[in-house]
Amino acid sequence: MGTVLMEFTHERLEDLCSQVQSVAKQAGNFILSERQAFSSNKIEVKGHNDFVSYVDKGAEKLIVKGLKEVLPIAGFITEEGTEKRDDNPLKWVIDPLDGTTNFIHGMPFFAVSIALLQGKEPILGVVYEINQDEMFTAVKGGGAFMNGSLITVSKAATVKDSLLGTGFPYYDYHLLDEYLELFKHLMQHSHGIRRPGSAATDLAYVACGRFDGFYEYSLSPWDVAAGILLVKEAGGVVSNFDGGDDAIFTKEIIATNQEIYEEFFALLRRFMK
């Protein structure tokens, strides 16, 4: 496929974002409609503690179909592989149901996550937290919003004054001991740690100031691409565990407000590297 180079005006991105919100809401409505009738015999196992169901796949098909209509020239990176066109510099990155384990157990944290990448940079991000009916949106250079209202990261000045989010390792345990040491330290030197079970939701919560910071490893691009843009546009800082800015593809992420990033990064390097 030839290189796709496009210049998006702010107005064009805002129009795309509005259309993507409609696609995300449609997928969210489908997910909720299937929730009551869902049973454990409809679960497929992709790997250790890695689950998928017809709901994930059905939602992804809805999203892919909608996004093809919104921007036909773009490629795709999709969690469930319903569309495999990832060689285009302009591509959609989709997690149709981030928090599948929560969904299948009846827990309330799960979300639709959709990002548009230009190269490796997210220029549009939508996270729809389904149960709370909260639509988090951002376009590059335009700020971050929740249900249409401007959001910003928190103003917590130190880690000890912060509430932090994380995700527990569930199949990749090569940093488990280091992770638990950091976890132990943060338990004793912060306002606490929460684990909702959806990285897209975690990042949206950093963007709107509910969490002061978030960290996790062994993540995939569809888990974080939209949330990264949300945090950045809300005034936050995002990096991988080495301090690099390519957290979408390096499987590690730190996302915090401006004030605690350096302190938190130093702690993570102390315990995890």
- Listing DSSP states for 129-192 in one string gives ETTTTEEEEEETTS-EEETTEEE------SGGG-EEEE---SS--TTHHHHHHHHHHHHHSSSE
Q: Which residue from 231, 199, 197 is spatially nearest to 215, judged by alpha carbons?
A: 199
Interval 107-123: pLDDT, tens = 999 999 999 999 999 99
Mean pLDDT of the region 169-197 = 94
In this prediction, residue 58 carries a pLDDT of: 92
In this prediction, residue 39 carries a pLDDT of: 60
In this prediction, residue 102 carries a pLDDT of: 92
pLDDT at position 14 over 80: yes
In this prediction, residue 49 carries a pLDDT of: 39
As a whole number of angstroms, the distance between CA 162 and CA 42 comes to 39
* Lowest-pLDDT choice from 77-86, 100-109, 239-248, 261-270: 77-86
pTM above 0.95, yes or no: no
pLDDT at position 3 over 50: no
pLDDT at position 48 over 60: no
In this prediction, residue 40 carries a pLDDT of: 65
Query: How far are the Cα atoms of 131, 200, 205, 257 from residue 146, in angstroms, in the given order?
Result: 14, 14, 10, 17
In this prediction, residue 132 carries a pLDDT of: 96
- Average confidence score pLDDT of the chain: 92
Mean pLDDT of the region 172-176 = 89
As a whole number of angstroms, the distance between CA 207 and CA 255 comes to 9
Mean pLDDT of the region 124-153 = 98
Mean pLDDT of the region 127-141 = 98
In this prediction, residue 6 carries a pLDDT of: 75
Mean pLDDT of the region 206-225 = 97
As a whole number of angstroms, the distance between CA 43 and CA 35 comes to 13
Interval 156-169: pLDDT, tens = 999 999 999 999 98
pLDDT at position 19 over 70: yes
pLDDT at position 87 over 90: no
Domains for the chain: give ranges and CATH numbers. Answer: 10-151 (3.30.540.10), 159-272 (3.40.190.80)
